[in-house]
C-alpha cells in the first residue's frame, strides 16, 4: 500500500485535506524511487540503505551476511544479454512510459554476476543502484517470482505509509535472488494515494469465531473416541476448543507468508472482480495478530507469475528465494500462510516443504500453522450463465456454452496465459495430475502436522465459482474450516444510500462508527439455509454435501460482479448513479473552506449518513484522494476468524488422513427438469437428516451484518458477552428448521437463479406452519 509520506495519523490528514477542498497533499510523493534522480542516485541509495540499517535491525542483519560480488571485465564490458536487449515495444513500452520513477537499465557498462556467496556489504553505490534497477525492471515485467521481506512488529492501524516502510526484496533470476536488496520502501505502488476509508458491511457464515460453533471436549467424549478408534469406528468428525484460548501468542514470534499469483487484468475482473497484493494481505493479518500481543511479526510476501508459468516451476522459484530467509523462520512460534485463488495450491506445496524441513529451518515440530485460502481454486471451476441456460440442454449444448464462456474469459490474454490458466479447470477432476499433487501435499499436512489448520474462505454471492467449488467441498477432514463471506451490497444494502441500512443517523466526531445491520426480511431464507448447511459440514456431517452442491449454482449471477452485469442492468445502474452524482454535486460544491484545522469532522459531514454519501462521492469523483475498501480482502473479521481457528482449536486425539468424496451431485443446468426433481427430494432428505442433529450451538436470532466505518486499516468485532450454549438433544436443530420455514414465507430474491430456487422449494409453502412441516418430515 502506497500513500503520502506524512507521519501524521490519517485523522489529522483527513481534516487538513478537507479544508484544502480536494487538493492533493504536498508533504511527499508516493513511493519515490531511490534511483529516479540519475545525478545523485548513488548517494541516495547509500543514504537510504544507511537509514534502513538504523531503523530495522533485521534488515541490518541482512547487510552483514556473508556474500560476495564478482565483476567481469572493466567499465567498458558488455551488459548481460537479458539487460542489453533493445528497448521494449507495445504494451511493455507503454508500462515503462508510465513509471518514470524507475531508472530502467539503459546502456549500462558494468556487468554483475552474483553467486550464492554474494556479500551485500561489499557493494558500492553504483553496484547497489544496478541491482535495484535490475530488480525493479524484472518486477514490472511480471514474469519471475519475487519476495518482499518486512518486519511488521510495529505496524500501526493508523500508519499512513504502509508502502513507505523499509524492507528487503529478492527477485528470481536477478542478482538479488542470491543477494537480497534492502530498500527504503515497497518497490511498487498500488496507485491509491490519499485517504483510505474502510466500510465493512458483511456477515461471515456460519460464524466468525470457533467459540460460537465449537466447545471443549469432555472426558467422556475422549474416552468414547479412543474406544471408537480402537474398533475403527468413525470418530472425532470435528475439532474442539482448547481449555485456554487467551494469550496463546503473547510474547511469541510469528511469521507471515503470503502468496498471490498474477492474472491478466480482464480475467481478474471477470473472475475475482479484484485482488490485493501479497504485501497488503500480510499487513492486514499483522494488524489482527497485534491483538494477540506477539513479541515479533515478520512477513515474507511472494508475488508469483502463475499466469505464465506452471505451478511446479513457480514452486521451485519460491524455494530458491526462500533460501535467503531461513533465519526468518528460525525459532518461529507460529506460521500463518495466506493465498488467493490459483495461489492456494502453491501455498499448500510451499507450506509442506517448509514443515517437512523444519529441522533445517530450526523451529519446533509442534508450532501452530494455518493456511488462509480465499476464493480457492482447489476444486476448479466451470462456467455458469443462467441467462442462456436451457430447460432440457443436451451435452452438446453444455459444451458449447463452456467453450463460448472460456473464449470470453481469455479474450486479450496471450497464448501462454491461456494455456497456463486453463489448467485450473483440471482441479475439478480429482484424478487429474494437478489435483493429485495438491491432494498428496494437503494429506501430508493434515496427517503429519497435528497443529495444522486449513481455512477456506469464499464469497457466497458470486458470478464465477460456486460455493462448493471454492470451499473444496469434496475434501473432508476435521482440520478443514469453511466460511462464507456475505456482502451487504449483494443483499440490497448499499452504503451509498444509508437510509436503507436501518441504522441511526447519529453525529460522529471522527470517521469511526460501528453497528449491527439486520439481514433484509426478503433475503433471510438464503442466509439461514446456507448458514445451517455450512455449520453441519464444519461439524463433520458429510451427508449434507450433495444438497450444497445442488443449490450452489443458484447463487451464481452476473449481477454480483460489476464487471459482468447485463447491458440492460448496467444501463439502469449508470442512470441511477448519474442522478445520484448530480445530487451530490449540488450538495458538496457549496461547501466553504476554512483556514483553521479543527480536531473533529466538519459539520457538513459530521453524521453517519452524510459521511457515507460524501465518501462514496469522493471515491467516484476523486479516487486518488479518497478510496473506499469494502471487499473480502479488507474485512478484518476474515483474518480474526483465521487466527482463532488456527490457535483456539485442539488437535484430534488420533491422526487422520484426507478423505475425498468425489460426489457428482452438481447439475449442468439449474433449469433442467430432472435436476429440479432431484433437488426437491434431496432437500426433503436434508431436512430429515438435519432435525436429527444433536448438540448444535444455540442461536436465538439470525446473525446480523457487522457494519463499520473506519479511516484506520483495522477493526475488531467485539466478543460476545455471553458464551454460546449447547443442548445435548436435537431441540436446536428443530428451532433452526422452524426459523427456516418462517423466513421462506417472506423470501423474495432478485436474481434469476435464486428465484428459480424459490420456485423449486415451494413445497415449503404447502405447510400451514412450521410444526406441520416438522411433523411431516419426521414421519416420512
Taking CA 235 as the corner, what is the angle to CA 231 and CA 241, rounded to the nearest 5 degrees? 145
C-alpha span between 351 and 348 (Å, rounded): 5
Mean pLDDT (the chain, rounded): 83
Name the residue among 601, 604, 594, 712 with its Cα closest to residue 21: 594
- Quote the pLDDT of residue 591: 55
Backbone angles phi, psi at 326, to 5 degrees: -60, -35
% of the chain at pLDDT higher than 70:
79
C-alpha span between 84 and 108 (Å, rounded): 8
pLDDT in tens, 569-600: 999 999 999 999 999 988 877 554 443 334 56
3-state secondary structure of 659: strand
Grid coordinates of 279: 504485501
C-alpha span between 769 and 778 (Å, rounded): 15
pLDDT average, residue stretch 247-259: 96
DSSP strand pairing (296-304 vs 705-710): unpaired
Q: How far apart are the first and last CA of the chain?
A: 58
DSSP class of residue 176?
G
% of the chain at pLDDT higher than 90:
62
| Whether residue 556 has pLDDT greater than 60 | yes
- Quote the pLDDT of residue 662: 82
Measured from the Cβ of residue 777, the count of other Cβ atoms closer than 10 Å reads: 18
- Quote the pLDDT of residue 112: 54
pLDDT in tens, 5-33: 333 344 444 434 333 433 333 333 333 33
DSSP-assigned beta bridge partners for residue 707: 201, 515
Task: Please enumerate in sequence order all residues whose Cβ is within 8 A of that of 735, keeping only pairs 6 or more positions apart, or say none.
Answer: 699
Name the residue among 644, 620, 601, 690 with its Cα closest to residue 204: 644
| Whether residue 602 has pLDDT greater than 80 | no
- Segment (H or E) for 305: none
pLDDT average, residue stretch 506-515: 88
* Contact in structure between 488 and 516 (CB atoms under 8 Å): no
Task: Please enumerate in sequence order all residues whose Cβ is within 8 A of that of 200, keeping only pairs 6 or more positions apart, or say none.
Answer: 630, 634, 635, 636, 637, 706, 707, 708, 710, 715
Q: How far is CA 331 from CA 27, 294, 334, in A?
A: 40, 13, 9
C-alpha span between 198 and 626 (Å, rounded): 11
Grid coordinates of 519: 439481514
pLDDT in tens, 317-334: 999 999 999 999 999 999
Count of positions (residues) in the chain:
780
C-alpha span between 633 and 275 (Å, rounded): 8
Measured from the Cβ of residue 585, the count of other Cβ atoms closer than 10 Å reads: 12
C-alpha span between 734 and 740 (Å, rounded): 10
Phi-psi region at 293: left, alpha or beta (left = phi > 0; alpha = psi -120 to 50): left
| Whether residue 481 has pLDDT greater than 80 | yes
- Quote the pLDDT of residue 94: 46
Cis check for the bond before 206: say yes or no (omega within 30 of 0). yes
- Quote the pLDDT of residue 207: 94
pLDDT band at 120; cut points 50, 70, 90: confident
Among 73-87, 138-152, 226-240, the range with the most confident prediction by mean pLDDT is 138-152
C-alpha span between 123 and 45 (Å, rounded): 11
Give the orientation angle of helix 731-744 with respect to helix 770-778, to 10 degrees.
130
pLDDT average, residue stretch 439-467: 97
DSSP class of residue 459?
E
Name the residue among 491, 510, 511 with its Cα closest to residue 501: 491
DSSP class of residue 105?
-
Domain extent listing, the chain: 37-188, 196-500+511-556+634-774
* Contact in structure between 391 and 384 (CB atoms under 8 Å): no
Task: Please enumerate in sequence order all residues whose Cβ is within 8 A of that of 70, keeping only pairs 6 or more positions apart, or say none.
Answer: 112, 113, 114, 115
| Whether residue 87 has pLDDT greater than 60 | no
Better-scored residue on pLDDT, 770 or 37: 770
pTM: 0.85
pLDDT average, residue stretch 114-134: 80
pLDDT average, residue stretch 523-541: 97
pLDDT in tens, 155-168: 876 655 567 789 99
Amino acid at each position: 500500500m502506497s500513500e503520502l509520506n506524512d507521519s501524521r495519523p490519517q485523522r489529522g490528514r483527513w481534516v487538513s485535506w478537507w479544508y484544502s477542498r480536494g487538493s492533493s497533499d504536498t508533504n511527499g510523493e508516493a513511493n519515490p524511487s531511490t534511483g529516479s534522480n540519475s545525478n545523485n542516485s548513488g548517494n541516495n541509495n547509500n543514504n537510504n540503505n544507511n537509514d534502513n540499517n538504523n531503523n530495522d535491525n533485521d534488515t541490518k542483519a541482512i547487510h552483514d551476511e556473508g556474500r560476495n560480488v564478482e565483476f567481469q571485465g572493466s567499465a567498458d564490458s558488455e551488459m548481460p544479454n537479458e539487460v542489453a536487449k533493445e528497448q521494449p515495444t507495445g504494451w511493455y513500452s507503454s508500462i515503462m512510459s508510465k513509471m518514470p520513477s524507475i531508472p530502467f537499465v539503459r546502456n549500462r557498462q558494468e556487468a554483475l554476476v552474483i553467486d550464492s556467496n554474494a556479500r551485500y556489504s561489499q557493494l558500492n553505490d553504483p553496484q547497489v543502484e544496478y541491482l535495484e534497477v535490475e530488480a525493479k525492471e524484472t518486477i514490472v515485467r511480471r514474469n519471475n517470482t519475487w519476495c518482499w521481506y518486512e518486519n511488521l512488529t510495529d505496524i500501526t492501524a493508523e500508519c499512513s505509509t504502509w508502502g513507505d516502510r523499509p524492507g528487503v526484496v529478492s527477485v528470481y533470476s536477478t542478482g538479488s535472488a542470491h543477494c537480497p536488496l534492502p530498500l527504503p520502501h515497497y518497490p511498487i505502488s498500488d496507485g491509491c494515494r490519499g485517504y483510505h476509508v474502510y466500510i465493512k458491511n458483511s456477515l461471515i457464515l456460519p460464524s466468525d469465531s470457533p467459540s460460537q460453533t465449537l466447545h471443549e471436549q469432555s472426558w467422556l467424549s475422549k474416552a468414547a473416541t479412543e474406544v471408537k478408534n480402537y474398533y475403527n469406528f468413525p470418530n472425532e468428525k470435528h475439532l474442539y476448543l482448547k481449555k485456554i484460548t487467551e494469550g496463546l501468542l503473547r510474547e511469541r514470534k510469528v511469521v507471515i507468508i503470503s502468496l498471490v499469483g498474477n492474472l491478466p487484468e480482464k480475467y481478474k475482473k471477470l473472475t475475482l472482480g479484484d485482488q490485493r497484493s501479497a504485501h497488503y494481505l500480510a499487513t492486514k493479518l499483522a494488524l489482527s495478530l497485534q491483538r494477540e500481543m506477539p513479541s515479533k511479526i515478520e512477513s515474507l510476501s511472494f508475488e508469483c507469475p502463475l499466469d505464465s508459468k506452471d505451478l511446479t516451476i513457480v514452486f521451485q522459484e519460491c524455494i530458491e528465494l526462500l533460501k535467503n530467509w531461513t533465519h526468518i523462520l528460525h525459532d518461529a512460534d507460529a506460521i500463518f500462510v495466506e493465498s488467493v485463488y490459483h495461489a492456494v495450491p502453491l501455498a499448500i506445496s510451499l507450506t509442506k516443504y517448509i514443515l517437512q524441513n523444519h529441522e533445517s529451518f530450526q523451529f519446533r515440530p509442534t508450532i501452530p500453522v494455518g493456511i488462509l485460502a480465499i476464493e480457492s481454486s482447489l476444486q476448479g471451476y466451470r462456467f455458469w450463465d443462467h441467462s442462456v441456460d436451457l430447460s432440457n440442454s443436451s451435452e452438446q449444448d453444455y459444451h458449447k456454452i463452456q467453450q463460448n464462456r472460456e473464449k470470453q474469459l481469455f479474450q486479450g490474454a496471450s497464448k501462454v496465459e491461456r494455456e497456463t490458466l486453463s489448467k485450473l479447470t483440471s482441479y475439478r477432476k480429482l484424478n487429474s495430475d494437478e489435483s493429485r499433487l495438491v491432494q498428496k501435499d494437503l494429506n501430508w499436512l493434515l496427517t503429519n502436522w497435528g497443529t495444522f489448520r486449513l481455512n477456506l474462505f469464499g464469497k457466497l454471492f458470486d458470478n464465477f465459482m460456486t460455493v462448493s467449488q471454492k470451499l473444496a467441498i469434496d475434501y473432508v477432514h476435521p482440520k478443514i474450516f469453511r466460511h462464507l463471506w456475505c456482502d451487504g451490497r449483494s443483499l440490497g444494502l448499499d452504503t451509498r444510500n444509508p437510509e436503507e441500512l436501518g441504522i441511526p443517523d447519529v453525529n460522529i466526531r471522527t470517521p469511526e462508527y460501528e453497528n449491527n445491520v439486520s439481514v433484509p426480511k426478503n433475503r433471510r431464507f438464503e442466509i439461514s439455509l446456507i448458514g445451517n448447511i455450512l455449520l453441519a459440514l464444519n461439524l463433520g456431517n458429510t451427508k449434507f454435501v450433495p444438497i450444497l452442491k445442488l443449490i450452489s449454482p443458484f447463487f451464481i449471477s452476473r449481477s454480483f460482479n460489476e464487471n459482468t452485469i447485463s447491458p440492460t442492468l448496467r444501463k439502469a445502474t449508470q442512470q441511477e448513479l448519474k442522478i445520484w452524482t448530480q445530487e451530490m454535486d449540488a450538495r458538496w460544491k457549496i461547501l466553504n473552506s476554512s483556514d483553521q484545522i479543527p480536531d473533529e469532522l466538519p459539520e457538513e459531514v459530521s453524521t453517519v449518513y452524510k459521511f457515507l454519501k460524501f465518501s462514496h462521492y469522493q471515491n467516484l469523483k476523486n479516487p486518488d484522494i479518497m478510496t473506499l475498501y469494502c471487499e473480502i480482502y479488507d474485512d478484518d473479521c476474515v483474518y480474526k476468524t483465521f487466527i482463532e481457528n488456527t490457535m483456539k482449536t485442539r488437535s484430534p486425539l488420533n491422526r487422520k488422513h484426507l478423505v475425498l468424496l468425489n460426489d457428482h451431485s452438481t447439475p449442468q443446468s439449474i433449469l433442467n427438469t430432472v435436476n429440479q426433481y432431484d433437488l426437491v427430494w434431496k432437500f426433503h432428505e436434508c431436512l430429515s437428516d438435519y432435525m436429527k442433529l444433536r448438540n448444535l450451538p444455540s442461536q436465538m436470532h439470525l446473525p446480523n451484518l457487522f457494519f463499520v466505518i473506519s479511516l484506520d486499516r483495522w477493526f475488531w468485532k467485539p466478543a460476545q458477552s455471553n458464551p454460546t450454549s449447547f443442548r445435548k438433544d436435537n431441540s436446536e436443530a428443530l428451532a433452526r428448521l422452524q426459523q427456516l420455514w418462517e423466513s421462506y414465507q417472506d423470501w423474495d430474491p432478485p436474481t434469476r437463479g435464486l428465484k428459480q430456487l424459490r420456485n423449486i422449494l415451494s413445497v415449503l409453502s404447502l405447510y400451514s406452519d412450521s410444526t406441520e412441516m416438522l411433523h411431516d418430515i419426521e414421519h416420512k
